Structure 1
């Protein structure tokens, strides 16, 4: 008998290791992916990030049944994995490039074609699609020829088509693509639409902001192993030790002054600003930092409480593992 937990499960990987090996000079061959344990459930939006785009892409290819694996277990929506690889399963929509579109069509025409099997009136269908395009901020592209779009814009249009498909699991495997802020917002809105339909989306990306805005969960892959997995919000608050962000014309002088005021905190210069970081063992208390700075009489031009970001959390996680992004 299938229990409710199994019905919610979309991806289950247990002790999975890849068939691909990595060769380094002077070292024995190492599997690219090693001992991967991961469970992804219905209506979750996962962002997969890490130190190697190749590792991330390979992991999602295994999820989509495109690549075989050496050992372990991988189950998709409780249906197991086909022995025949390089076959996309019917319940999966895989996006591995942006070349699947018809360049002679405009965006609205393509999405109408992609939803041709819908059993509703054509006019109503077009209205629904156009409404979603507007909602996700892509209205300006609706009548644009696909051949004129960037590869990133094409990828997002493909994601809209995937959201309208019957697939229960959508794999957005484009870690090499660079999405701007407009497209990141669009992906986040499409992800919400996918979640509302109780479908699952898995995104491979090096863009921290994309994970922060679009994803409910995060998995971090480094040197072939998963070093973190869980809710994005938990990840941000667990690892982001930046308390206050300070801007001042005299960064050097401000940094020296703050070091004397905040002896239990790190003051780090980064991108024309100062980051005040707490030690991992200390509780978060930005109000106390504000108070100490103001009481000292040395007030910088700008002080801002850090909102806890995936970017800073990832930097700290990598530092703890002595890894570089």
Structure 2
């Protein structure tokens, strides 16, 4: 697409992506009428080729951030660059290289799934009409909707609508894919398929930006993540590093759970929880061998003893001090 004269040329069309990040924001701020501060001085960097999880509790500013990145709303102040270009000013150059599924797909209920995609593809001025049906068939196959392609969209389940919205985002090769709750309404099998698809896209060189409330899903598929709370960025980095700073929970496997729980509490272990044949708790600082010695001395039959690796959910709770909610 030809750019307007006011749009400055990128120094290198894809070089900025690799060097600085596919998404880069600096002091990005959005304040609504009445003084509500939705996003507060956000400095975010999404590395090229990453699967980036965007996390935060209800009202943390995730969706507002995504809408600014896609040029749907303008920031109050600060800057956002996507694929090396400023947004929203560079939207005409950027958006053809971005696939997005935000706040659920917009579908024509009276059209079939296939006809919805044909309509989407026809609205893309960069799409070659000669290969339209091939692209639509490939996108339907990739999200597992070939068998339901002729069914009217109004008869689709929520999970099928999510798949169709994802297929629309994949009609053309994309440098960046932005997904807001991509597994919403999917059964476990569908969630696994979407995870696999996201990994395949990343392996093919597409950067995937995922906003989700399913921390376990994020941990399984994402390489990097950022945590938002009350409009501010709390932390960002690799998923491994976010949890690495936390000490995992102590786990003791034993048939003598009552005695084990008592001994652990007496030796400084807090938040002790008994579940079946396991006792878990927050281990105190110090030598863990002293705990095993105390258990053995008390006659507790220890069948397993160790530290569970801290999860992304543990890190989220430690950073925000609250549980997770879906909206953002």
The question of a shared fold, defined as TM-score above 0.5 by the shorter chain, is answered with yes
Question: Which residue number in structure 1 is paired with residue 28 of structure 2?
Answer: 16
Question: Which residue number in structure 2 is paired with residue 313 of structure 1?
Answer: 315
1:268 and 2:272 are equivalent in the alignment = yes
Question: Which residue number in structure 1 is paired with residue 246 of structure 2?
Answer: 239
Question: What are the residue-to-residue correspondences of 1:1-325 with 2, within 5 Å?
Answer: 2=12, 6-8=16-18, 9-20=21-32, 29=35, 31-53=37-59, 55-83=61-89, 89-103=95-109, 126=137, 130=141, 132-133=142-143, 146-174=153-181, 177=184, 179-239=186-246, 241-244=248-251, 254-260=260-266, 263-269=267-273, 274-278=279-283, 288=289, 291-292=292-293, 295-296=296-297, 297-299=299-301, 306-319=308-321, 323=322, 325=324
SS at match of 1:32: strand
SS at match of 2:281: strand
- Cα distance in 1 for partners of 2:94, 2:257 equals 54
- Cα distance in 2 for partners of 1:290, 1:160 equals 54
TM-score by length of 1: 0.73
User: Cα 1:32–1:62, aligned 2, differ >3 Å: closer, same or farther?
Assistant: same
User: Cα 1:103–1:324, aligned 2, differ >3 Å: closer, same or farther?
Assistant: closer
- Cα distance in 1 for partners of 2:191, 2:291 equals 33
RMSD: 4.2
Count of matched residue positions in the alignment of Structure 1 and Structure 2? 305
- Cα distance in 2 for partners of 1:303, 1:144 equals 54
Gaps of 5+ in 1: 24-28
Note the alpha carbon deviations across 1:126-178, whole angstroms, 9 max, x for none.
Answer: 57863x446xxx78867866434332442234224424423322211249946
SS at match of 1:184: helix
Larger gyration radius, structure 1 or structure 2: 2
Say if 2:25 and 2:81, in contact at 8 Å, map to a contact too: yes
- Cα distance in 2 for partners of 1:80, 1:316 equals 34
Gaps of 5+ in 2: 1-10
TM-score by length of 2: 0.73
